[in-house]
Amino acid sequence: MKDLTQGNETKVIINFAIPMLIGNVFQQFYSMVDSIVVGKFVGDQALAAVGTSFPIIFLMISLIMGLTIGTSILVAQYFGAGNREKVRLAVDTGYILLFWTGLAITIIGMLITNPLLRLLAVPDDVFVGASQYLRITFLGMLGMFGYNTISAILRGLGDSKTPLYLLIIATLLNVVLDLVFVVVFGWGVPGVAWATIISQGCSFAGGMWYIHKRNDLVRLNIKGIRFDRDIFKKSLAIGLPTGIQQTMVSLGMMALTRIVNGFGTATIAAFTGASRLDSFASMPAMNLSQAISTFTGQNMGAGKTERVKRGHLSAIIAGAIISAVTGLAVIFFGKELMLLFTNDMEVARIGARYLTIVGSTYILFSTMFINNGVMRGAGDAFIPMINTVLALWVIRIPAAILFISVFHMGSDGIWWSVPAGWTMGAVFSTWYYLGGRWKRKAVIKEKTPA
């Protein structure tokens, strides 16, 4: 556990964010190694199958991500206020809620896999592989949700290192199993799916062992577990808007995937590889957002609003610097990076074009995410949801359709719609943050805000 209400704001935020960043780098290896192995050893159709499946997986986990964030923010605010009893209740309630929701999503996901793939207009040569990948992945959803729940709780307490250690072990296991199942056993797309869910199950088991042995405050006690209705409502107040936001993102990804699918297997494969690289490049901003969210939660609980503002500025500056570096990297080395995923030069060319267009505007993405992190940490989760709807559904998707249909820009029209949406998100979130309404949104009122 770590108190984020003391010390130099920049140092505290960066030190807290670095383990999460390293952890997410390893977590991205789950999907990246899957894509590299099937792209290199099976073919572009298998790469497209893995890529076209991702929006559906993200749709299923979106609500659970929101509920996890709600639990994490409550834990952070109660911990910052020094209320250990409420921390324990928030953790217990989170365990119960996430278990049953995760189980429901597993069942629903298995039932709607093929209808959703048809809705996305997945090409026939990709359909079977995508269906196999999705169904196997859904079988492992409880392991994925369990690990993410434990990680969110520990981060709310200021511990971002333990989830990292668990994830490193699981990621290395995933790499080994990918190679064994695909290269040695020849299982193809199903092989990478089985490797992923086995590795995620190990992450969950390791996390449960750790909290049982090392952390009495968040230890799972089946017999003594308690469900608190008031905390449940507060968690929903934070988590449901975030879950809806993530759902809107996933639905937007599905809409864009349908547009991409209209350009054929080569473009789908290119989009899959470029998106994996894009995920890596955007991770620093996302981790700074997570760090500033926990930082804000603890300091709002402790009544230190001015400290939150100083922390926000530090995160914005750090995000701008990192965005410039990562943007230049994907712009200048995009084609070489794409060749990690494919042997097809046309696929590499299309993917490199995506990275050139999108990589030049990473600073907009960083600004939007960090602003949203402050709002979530303060308990004002509704505004990030609205921000996402505006950026994605009012700007990005209509822009993609306009650029393709009216200006005949081809796949470039899809790529240019990404920075168009980020511009809207960055401007709106900055305007709201400067207005200061988030300072009055703390979920708990144990202390008077500064």
Where do the structural domains in the chain lie, given as residue ranges?
Answer: 9-440
Confidence of residue 232 (pLDDT cuts 50, 70, 90): confident
- pLDDT surpassing 50 at residue 379: yes
Confidence of residue 448 (pLDDT cuts 50, 70, 90): very low
> Region 421-446: what's the mean pLDDT?
83
C-alpha angle 268/287/157, rounded to 5°? 135
- pLDDT surpassing 50 at residue 291: yes
In this structure, what token pair is assigned to residue 80?
């910052």
pLDDT reported for residue 36: 79
- pLDDT surpassing 70 at residue 447: no
Spatial contact of 168 and 114, defined as CB atoms under 8 Å apart:
no
Spatial contact of 412 and 333, defined as CB atoms under 8 Å apart:
no
Least confident of 132-141, 346-355, 363-372: 132-141
> Region 95-113: what's the mean pLDDT?
84
Kindly report whether the global pTM for this prediction surpasses the value 0.85.
no
Confidence of residue 311 (pLDDT cuts 50, 70, 90): very high
* Calpha distance 200→410 (Å, rounded): 38
Computed over every residue of the chain, the mean pLDDT equals 84
Confidence of residue 328 (pLDDT cuts 50, 70, 90): very high
- pLDDT surpassing 80 at residue 77: no
> Region 86-91: what's the mean pLDDT?
85
- pLDDT surpassing 80 at residue 76: no
pLDDT reported for residue 406: 92
Confidence of residue 1 (pLDDT cuts 50, 70, 90): low
- pLDDT surpassing 50 at residue 275: yes
pLDDT reported for residue 19: 79
Confidence of residue 449 (pLDDT cuts 50, 70, 90): very low
- Please state, in angstroms and as integers, the Cα–Cα distance from residue 104 to each residue in 60, 108, 144, 145, 149, following that order: 10, 6, 14, 12, 16
Residue 388 identity: T
pLDDT reported for residue 445: 53
- pLDDT surpassing 50 at residue 450: no
Q: What is the DSSP letter of 181?
A: I
In terms of pLDDT, which residue wins out, 446 or 232?
232
- pLDDT surpassing 70 at residue 196: yes
